[in-house]
Amino acid sequence: MLAASFFISGCGYHFASSGDALPQSAETIYVARFGNQTRVTGINDEFMRYIKDEIAVHRRLKVVDSPETADLELSGDVRLTSSVPTNFNSALEPTQYTTSMVVSATLRDLHAKKTIWSTHNVSAGEHAPIVPQTTVTTTPTFLQQNLRGNDIANLTDIQTAQSETSASRDVMMQRLAQNLYSEMAEGF
């Protein structure tokens, strides 16, 4: 057992929340306003709330409101967002969409004045049923909503689409923020 613990500790594997790739002296981070290269107005601002929340959850860095008080600066762009119908009924009407988003990001050490990490392709996606008949009420995405299984049958297609699209977008952005933080904190 002792030998196994030495082997595991020496293999270089560690968890993203540890932030091993971040400078040891860094305590604060400023998240600059991400650019938006899509046609979806405000998606960059919406995503910034998720990334700030993700950074705060890990408690490795404190998010600050100005670059003057920060050790690190995270900046980037929302490069792509898409929503594509993926399932259809017998009349070829969409019953499910797949939404995805891609961001690029750069992490700079403001004291050393150098880039310590960058990526051009962090992504996440999620499926969204848009009619009650295709909604699976036992999925984690559905269970996190404020709906019960019996409620979904009473919704119109428009209400279902709005509810499920909003929930899947929330999950997608959370997952994208998690992916971005993991890559940034581990230097991938």
CATH tag, 19-186: 3.30.160.150
The end-to-end CA distance of the chain, in Å, is: 30
pLDDT band (50, 70, 90) for residue 3: very low
Q: What is the DSSP letter of 99?
A: E
Q: What is the DSSP letter of 43?
A: H
Domain range list for the chain? 19-186
pLDDT top residue among 142 and 82: 82
Average pLDDT for the chain: 82
Residue range 96-108: average pLDDT?
93
Q: Please report the pLDDT score of residue 16 as a whole number.
A: 42
Taking 50 as the threshold, does the pLDDT of residue 4 lie above it? no
Q: What proportion of the chain, given as a percentage, has pLDDT over 90?
A: 52
Beta carbons of 34 and 78 less than 8 angstroms apart: yes
pLDDT band (50, 70, 90) for residue 106: very high
Residue range 86-102: average pLDDT?
87
Q: What is the pTM of this model?
A: 0.77
Residue range 84-92: average pLDDT?
87
What's 89-119 look like in SS3?
Answer: CCCCCEEEEEEEEEEEEEEEECCCCEEEEEE
Q: Please report the pLDDT score of residue 11 as a whole number.
A: 42
128-183 residue pLDDT tens: 776 766 665 556 666 566 566 667 677 776 776 677 777 888 889 999 999 999 99
pLDDT band (50, 70, 90) for residue 38: very high
